[in-house]
Amino acid sequence: GQQVMQIPQYQHVQEGEDFTTYCNSSTTLSNIQWYKQRPGGHPVFLIQLVKSGEVKKQKRLTFQFGEAKKNSSLHITATQTTDVGTYFCAGRSGETSGSRLTFGEGTQLTVNP
């Protein structure tokens, strides 16, 4: 079945440093979503990428979808303590009503003030 791998598993940064998490799929994806989960909380949707090579920005967050639609990345510029949490990518490999999201293992980000 479809596998989605995410690296690194953990990342510790000083406030103000940049952060990147990478997501790789074993199959070509129709779209990819990113979620953030604060400690003790539930996953919250951040963004969806659909097109090959797509780049989207949300303030200090930049999301990219690879040309082959098998990988994606999330980059945070100048991290802040509010960025603490676990970031998950989730890929979908089909367009039919039965297609499901497969989540990566997540990258847990801690930010030292």
- Which residues form the interface with other proteins (CB under 8 A)? 1, 6, 9, 31, 33, 35, 41-45, 48, 50, 88, 90, 92, 97-98, 100-106
Nearest approach in angstroms of CB 15 to other proteins is 25
What Rg value do the Cα atoms of the chain yield, rounded?
14
CA dist., res. 32 & res. 49, Å (int)? 5
Nearest approach in angstroms of CB 2 to other proteins is 10
In degrees, to the nearest 5, what angle opens at C-alpha 71 toward C-alphas 70 and 77?
160
CA dist., res. 51 & res. 36, Å (int)? 21
CA dist., res. 43 & res. 88, Å (int)? 8
Return the number of the residue (12 or 100) whose C-beta is nearest other proteins.
100
Return the number of the residue (71 or 102) whose C-beta is nearest other proteins.
102
Nearest approach in angstroms of CB 40 to other proteins is 9
Nearest approach in angstroms of CB 83 to other proteins is 19
Phi-psi region of 105 (alpha: psi -120 to 50; beta: other; left: phi over 0): alpha
Return the number of the residue (77 or 103) whose C-beta is nearest other proteins.
103
Return the number of the residue (9 or 52) whose C-beta is nearest other proteins.
9
